Amino acid sequence: MTDRLEIRVEVNGTWREGRVEPRLTLADFLREDLDLTGTHVACENGFCGNCNVLVDGESVRACLMFAVQADGRLLLTVEGLAEPDGTLGRLQQAFHDNHGLQCGFCTPAMLVTAHEYLEANPGGGSDEEIRDAISGVLCRCTGYQHIVDSIRAAAEEAA
Amino acid sequence: MKAAPFAYRAPETLDEALSLLAAGDGARVLAGGQSLVPLLKARVVKPTLVVDVNRVPGLAAIEVDGDGALRIGALTRQQKLLDSDAAAAAQPLLREAGRYAGFLATRHRGTVGGSLAYAAPWAELTAAAVALDARLEIRSAGGERTVPARSFFQGPHETVLEPDELLTVVHVPAAAPRTGVGFHEVSARYRDFANVAAAATITLDEAGACTAAELVLLRVAATPHRVDVSHLVGAPFDGAAARAALVDALAGLDPAGDIEASGTYRRRVAVTLALRALQDANAKAGATR
pLDDT digits (tens, 9 = 90+) for B7-18: 999 999 999 999
Which pLDDT value is given to residue B66?
A: 87
Does B68 or B79 have the greater pLDDT score? B79
pLDDT (mean) for B109-116:
98
pLDDT (mean) for B181-209:
95
Nearest to A136 among B33, B37, B103 (CB): B103
CA–CA distance, B15 with B139 (Å, rounded to integer) = 10
B157 in reach of chain A (CB within 8 A): no
**Residue contact A59–B189, C-beta within 8 A:** no
**Residue contact A25–B33, C-beta within 8 A:** no
- Say yes or no to pLDDT of B24 above 90: no
**Residue contact A23–B40, C-beta within 8 A:** yes
pLDDT tens string, chain A, 159 residues long: the values are: 578 999 999 999 999 999 999 999 999 999 999 999 999 999 999 999 999 999 999 999 999 999 999 999 999 999 999 999 999 999 999 999 999 999 999 999 999 999 999 999 999 999 999 999 999 999 999 889 999 999 999 999 888
Which pLDDT value is given to residue B274?
A: 98
CA–CA distance, A128 with A124 (Å, rounded to integer) = 11
Confirm if B48 and B7 have CB atoms less than 8 A apart: yes
The whole-chain average pLDDT of chain B stands at 96
Q: Which residues contact B239 (CB under 8 A, 6 or more apart)?
A: B275, B278, B279
- Say yes or no to pLDDT of B289 above 70: no
Model ipTM value: 0.96
* Residue of B1, B8, B75, B190 to mutate, interface with A, max A Cβ within 10 Å: B8
Cα-trace Rg, chain A: 16
Short-list B71, B21, B82, B68, CA closest to B47: B21
- Say yes or no to pLDDT of B25 above 90: no
Confirm if B168 and B14 have CB atoms less than 8 A apart: yes
Which chain B residues contact residue A1 at CB under 8 A? Answer: 5
**Residue contact B190–A132, C-beta within 8 A:** yes
Exposed e or buried b for every residue in B7-27, given b needs 16+ CB within 10 A?
ebbbbeebebbbebbeeeeeb
- Say yes or no to pLDDT of B27 above 60: yes
Element counts in chain B: helices (H) and strands (E): 10, 14
Residue A51, class by beta-carbon neighbours within 10 Å (0-12 exposed, 13-18 middle, 19+ buried)?
buried
Which chain B residues contact residue A28 at CB under 8 A? Answer: 2
**Residue contact A23–B4, C-beta within 8 A:** yes
**Residue contact B191–A3, C-beta within 8 A:** no
SS3 B179: strand
The pLDDT-based confidence of B281 (bands split at 50, 70, 90) is very high
Which chain B residues contact residue A65 at CB under 8 A? Answer: 33, 37, 109
- To 10 degrees, the CA torsion angle through B59, B65, B70, B74? -10
Cα-trace Rg, chain B: 19
Q: Which of the 8 DSSP states describes residue A70?
A: G
B140 in reach of chain A (CB within 8 A): no
Which pLDDT value is given to residue B26?
A: 83
B104 in reach of chain A (CB within 8 A): yes
CA–CA distance, B9 with A75 (Å, rounded to integer) = 22
Which pLDDT value is given to residue B28?
A: 96
* Residue of A43, A52, A53, A64 to mutate, interface with B, max B Cβ within 10 Å: A64
- To 10 degrees, the CA torsion angle through B119, B125, B126, B131? 180
Which pLDDT value is given to residue A123?
A: 94
Chain A residues within 8 Å of chain B (Cβ atoms): 1-3, 5, 21-23, 25, 28, 44-46, 49, 52, 55, 58-61, 63-66, 68-69, 113, 116, 132-133, 135-136
* Chain B, nearest residue to A5 by Cα: B8
**Residue contact A44–B109, C-beta within 8 A:** no
**Residue contact B38–A22, C-beta within 8 A:** no
**Residue contact A23–B3, C-beta within 8 A:** yes
The pLDDT-based confidence of B1 (bands split at 50, 70, 90) is confident
CA–CA distance, B183 with B276 (Å, rounded to integer) = 8
CA–CA distance, B168 with B175 (Å, rounded to integer) = 22
CA–CA distance, A67 with A23 (Å, rounded to integer) = 8
Q: Which residues contact A68 (CB under 8 A, 6 or more apart)?
A: A5, A7, A20, A22, A24, B8, B10, B52
Residue A75 C-alpha from the chain's centroid: 10
- Say yes or no to pLDDT of B50 above 90: yes
* Chain B, nearest residue to A54 by Cα: B105
Which chain B residues contact residue A25 at CB under 8 A? Answer: 2, 37
Which residues in chain B (249-278) have CB-CB distances under 8 A to chain A?
none
pLDDT-above-90 percentage for chain B: 94
Which chain B residues contact residue A50 at CB under 8 A? Answer: none
CA–CA distance, B32 with B78 (Å, rounded to integer) = 9
Q: What is the pLDDT of residues B234-261, one digit of tens each?
A: 999 999 999 999 999 999 999 999 999 9
Exposed e or buried b for every residue in A93-122, given b needs 16+ CB within 10 A?
bbbeebebbeeebbbbbbbbbbbbbbeeee
Q: In what order do the strands lie in the sheet with A74-76?
A: A14-20, A5-11, A74-76, A52-55, A58-61
Confirm if A69 and B52 have CB atoms less than 8 A apart: yes
Which chain B residues contact residue A115 at CB under 8 A? Answer: none
What is the maximum span of chain A, computed from C-alpha positions, in angstroms?
Answer: 53
